[in-house]
């Protein structure tokens, strides 16, 4: 934690309600140490804990982490296997602690693709923590932004077929409830670690007006100070939503 900016010191409106993170750079972190990529994924777990702790301290409402994309299945089989094993172990190890901190955990994505033991643990963690309210932690696994939009469109089409929704009524407002995370405010701040400047099919719809923060820090090296720098950067932004800077300044 940066001692110059203790938790809660920034004005409330300057603290994002919802932070989303593309946790990137585990593989390079390990390769620099001449270790297998799975070593980097394991090291990344500590940064997940740091991020959760940081959000709890800052009273951020929601944290959404990109842990495994729809495209990550294309990686070498041993790496995918190591990631699945890590998820399984992490669920066994971390769920009670998260529950103890009042964190509501949700896994977001096409969960049907995972092996039964992993799916069961995900469901159990979600059920156990469902009533918690200190922080909404969303872990995106087998998630893709295009998949999300497609599943929303499919579910809306099903509602049309059942006669519950008129096709002419479909617009961005009526489609929104079918997208993942619809019950949360959209991400205010999207952080990508690891130096790449791209979205990689993360939340496409939901980040329409998110502020983007990129850092070269590799995910396993992310700590509270790094996250605080992202928040400080966010606090300096003027969010205009299509209006002029003068209009926004006047309204605030
Ligand atoms: C992110 O780190 C974790 C996952 C995608 C699962 P990477 O594994 O992509 O790390 P780099 O980008 O290869 O360094
Ligand atoms: C995005 O990282 C996915 C996750 C962090 C889970 P990738 O490493 O898969 O993204 P690309 O391949 O560099 O675009
Ligand atoms: Mg990567």
Which pLDDT tens digit goes with each residue over 30-83?
Answer: 999 999 999 999 999 999 999 999 999 999 999 999 999 999 999 999 999 999
Distance CA 59, CA 7 (A): 9
Closest CA to ligand 2's atom 11? 200
| The pLDDT value given to residue 199 | 98
Which position has the token pair 């519950």?
164
In a domain, 6, yes or no: no
Which pLDDT tens digit goes with each residue over 92-116?
Answer: 999 999 999 999 999 999 999 999 9
Is the beta carbon of 217 within 6 A of some atom in ligand 1? no
pLDDT tops 60 at residue 5? no
Contact between residue 210 and residue 188 where contact means Cβ atoms under 8 Å apart? yes
| The pLDDT value given to residue 141 | 98
CATH of the domain at 39: 3.40.1180.10
> What is the DSSP code string of 92-149?
HHHHHHHHHTTEEEEEES-GGGS-HHHHHHHHHHHHHHTT--SEEEEEEEEE-HHHHH
Binding residue ranges for substrate:
25-29, 37, 41, 69-71, 73, 75, 192, 198-200
In a domain, 250, yes or no: no
Q: How many CB atoms lie within 10 A of CB 99?
A: 16
What's the angle, vertex CA 180, arms to CA 175 and CA 186, rounded to 5? 85
In a domain, 7, yes or no: no
92 counts as catalytic: no
233 counts as catalytic: no
pTM equals 0.95
Q: How many domains does the chain have?
A: 1
User: How is residue 84 written in tokens?
Assistant: 């699945």
Mean pLDDT of the chain: 95
User: How is residue 104 written in tokens?
Assistant: 């509501």
Contact between residue 140 and residue 184 where contact means Cβ atoms under 8 Å apart? no
In a domain, 9, yes or no: no
Q: Which domain holds residue 118?
A: 17-235
In a domain, 246, yes or no: no
Closest CA to ligand 1's atom 3? 24
Which position has the token pair 């994505």?
109
Q: Which one, of 143, 159, 151, lies nearest residue 179 by Cα? A: 151
Ion ligand 3 residues within 5 Å by Cβ? 24
Q: Give the ligand 2 atom nearest the CA of 196.
A: 13
In a domain, 242, yes or no: no
In a domain, 115, yes or no: yes
Distance CA 163, CA 157 (A): 10
Name the pLDDT band for 13 (thresholds 50, 70, 90): low
| The pLDDT value given to residue 11 | 46
Mean pLDDT on 124-153: 98
Percent share of the chain, pLDDT over 90: 94
In a domain, 164, yes or no: yes
| The pLDDT value given to residue 7 | 45
């Amino acid at each position: 934690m940066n001692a110059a900016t203790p938790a809660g010191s920034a004005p409330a409106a300057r603290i994002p309600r919802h932070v989303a993170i593309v946790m990137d750079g585990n593989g390079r972190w390990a390769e620099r140490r001449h270790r297998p990529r799975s070593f980097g994924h394991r090291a990344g777990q500590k940064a997940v804990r740091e991020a959760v702790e940081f959000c709890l301290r800052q009273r951020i409402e929601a944290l959404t982490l990109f842990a495994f994309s729809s495209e990550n299945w294309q990686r070498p089989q041993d790496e995918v296997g190591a990631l699945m094993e890590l998820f399984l172990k992490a669920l066994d190890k971390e769920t009670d602690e998260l529950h103890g901190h009042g964190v509501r955990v949700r896994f977001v994505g096409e969960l049907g693709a995972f092996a039964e033991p992993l799916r069961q643990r995900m469901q159990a963690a979600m059920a156990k923590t469902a009533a918690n309210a200190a922080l909404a932690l969303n872990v995106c696994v087998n998630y893709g932004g295009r998949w999300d939009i497609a599943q929303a469109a499919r579910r809306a089409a099903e509602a049309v077929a059942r006669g519950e929704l008129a096709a002419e009524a479909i617009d961005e407002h009526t489609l929104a409830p079918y997208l993942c995370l619809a019950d949360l405010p959209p991400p205010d701040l999207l952080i990508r670690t690891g130096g790449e400047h791209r979205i990689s099919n993360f939340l496409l719809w939901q980040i329409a007006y998110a502020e983007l923060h990129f850092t070269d820090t590799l995910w396993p090296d992310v700590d509270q100070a790094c996250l605080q720098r992202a928040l400080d950067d966010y606090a300096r932004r003027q969010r205009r939503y299509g209006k002029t800077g003068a209009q926004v300044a006047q309204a605030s």
